Chain A
Amino acid sequence: MRKQRGLSIISMLVFAFLIIPMIIIVVTSFGENPSIQFPIQGFTFDWYLNVFETNSLIQSFFLSIQISMIATILALLVGIPAAYALARYSVKGRDILKSFFLSPAMIPGVVIGYALFQFIVIQFQMPIFQGLLLGHFLISLPYIIRVVGSSLEQLDFSIEEVAWTLGCTRVRAFVKIVLPNIQAGIFASFMLAFINSFNNIPVSQFLSGPGVTALPTSLMNYIEYNYDPTVSALSVLLMVGTVILMYIIEKTLGLASIS
Chain B
Amino acid sequence: MKNKAPFILLTPGLILLIVFMFLPLVTIIWPTFYDGKLTFGSYLSFFQDNYNLSVFWRTLRVSLIVTLICILLGVPTAYYIARTSKKWRGLMMAMSLFPLLTNSVIRSFAWINILGTNGVINDFLMKLGIITEPIKMLYTDSAIVVGSVYLFLPLMIITLVGVIENIDLEMVEAAETLGANRLTAFMKVVLPLSLPGIIVGSILVFSGTLSAYTTPQLLGGNQNMMLSTFLYQNAMTLGNWQSAGVIALIMIVTTIIVMKLFNMIAAKFDKRGGEHA
Interface residues of A (CB under 8 A from B): 1-2, 4, 6-8, 10-11, 14-15, 17-19, 21-22, 24-25, 28, 35-38, 78-79, 81-82, 84-86, 88-89, 91, 97, 100-101, 103-104, 106-112, 114-120, 123, 134, 137-138, 141, 170, 195, 198-199, 201-202, 205-206, 216, 219-220, 223, 227, 231-232, 235, 238-239, 242-243, 245-246, 250, 255-256, 258-259
Contacts and interface: CB of A to CB of B under 8 A. Distances in A.
Contact of B79 (A7, A101, A117): A7
B106 A239 contact: yes
A36 B110 CA distance: 11
B217 A115 contact: no
Contacts of A15: 77, 92, 95
Interface in B85-99: 90, 92-99
A112 B17 CA distance: 11
Nearest to A1: B83
A82 B3 CA distance: 15
9 contacts: A14-B153, A14-B157, A18-B150, A24-B110, A81-B12, A91-B10, A110-B231, A219-B105, A258-B97
B60 interface: no
B155 to A, nearest CB: 10
Instruction: Give 10 nearest A-B pairs by CB, closest first.
Output: A108-B211, A119-B24, A21-B110, A115-B24, A85-B9, A81-B9, A85-B6, A11-B80, A89-B6, A82-B13
Contact of A205 (B9, B95, B153, B213): B213
A78 B13 contact: yes
Given A110-B248, A202-B211, 4 more contacts: A82-B10, A111-B25, A205-B232, A238-B106
Contact of A120 (B24, B99, B232, B251): B24
B142 interface: no
B68 to A, nearest CB: 15
Given A111-B252, A206-B232, A25 B113 contact: yes
B268 to A, nearest CB: 23
B130 interface: no
Given A201-B213, A238-B102, A38 B80 contact: no
Contacts of A250: 94
Contacts of A195: 101
Interface of B: 5-6, 9-10, 12-14, 16-17, 20-21, 23-25, 27-28, 73, 76-77, 79-81, 83, 90, 92-99, 101-107, 109-114, 118, 120, 123, 150, 153-154, 157-158, 161-162, 182, 207, 210-214, 217-218, 228, 231-232, 235-236, 241, 244, 248, 251-252, 255-256, 259
A18 B213 contact: no
Contacts of A24: 110, 113-114, 120
A202 B106 CA distance: 15
Given A10-B80, A22-B99, A107-B252, A115 B106 contact: no
Nearest to B72: A10
Contacts of B162: 259
Contacts of A2: 182
A11 B14 CA distance: 45
Nearest to A123: B27
Nearest to B183: A6
Given A170-B5, A201-B105, A219-B103, A79 B13 contact: yes
A35 B118 contact: yes
Given A36-B113, A201-B213, A259-B162, A118 B28 contact: yes
Nearest to A101: B13
Contacts of B259: 106
Contacts of A103: 17, 21
B104 A201 contact: yes
Contacts of A14: 73, 76-77, 153, 157
Given A22-B99, A101-B13, A108-B210, A259 B93 contact: yes
